[in-house]
Amino acid sequence: MTFASIRTDAFLPHPPEKVWRALTDRELLGAWLMPNDFQARVGHRFTFHTDAVPAQGFDGQVHCEVLILEPPQRLRISWRAGKIDTTVTWQLVPEGSGTRLFLTHDGFDPSDPEQEATRRLLGGGWQGHLARRLEQTLVGLG
């Protein structure tokens, strides 16, 4: 089976260590993404909490596990919610005085209309308001 992905590529005018902190500090991650009980440790299982969408079979919980942790270059987590069982990978690449941040959210079944709708919705979030909230969080770090 072939799976569909979300891919984003953004330049952040902040050093990789600062971006890494926003991805791996529980409080900072909660500020731009969702409240959580994240710990920067491979194998740690954690949950993001947000509003439920019962009509979509989503209870507001995203169940995750830290799969790869390579500071300050790569973080991969599992991302299970509703009918999706996917992975999210952030790759940080130094670029000038900033960071090129690549996000890949893999594992959507393109033959499932609900998963395709979820992929489109999440894709807009990753590229839109979540990207803006991450930038605001980074600016707030000084």
Per-residue pLDDT of the chain (142 residues; tens, 9 = 90+): 789 999 999 999 999 999 999 999 999 999 999 999 999 999 999 999 999 988 878 899 999 999 999 999 999 999 999 889 999 999 999 999 999 999 999 999 999 999 999 999 999 999 999 999 999 999 999 7
User: What's the start-to-end Cα distance of the chain, in Å?
Assistant: 45
Which one, of 56, 65, 30, 63, lies nearest residue 119 by Cα?
Answer: 56
pTM above 0.85, yes or no: yes
Show me where the domains of the chain are located: 4-140
Architecture of the domain spanning 4-140? 2-Layer Sandwich (3.30)
Rounded CA separation 135/22 (Å): 10
Tokens read off for 14: 């902040």
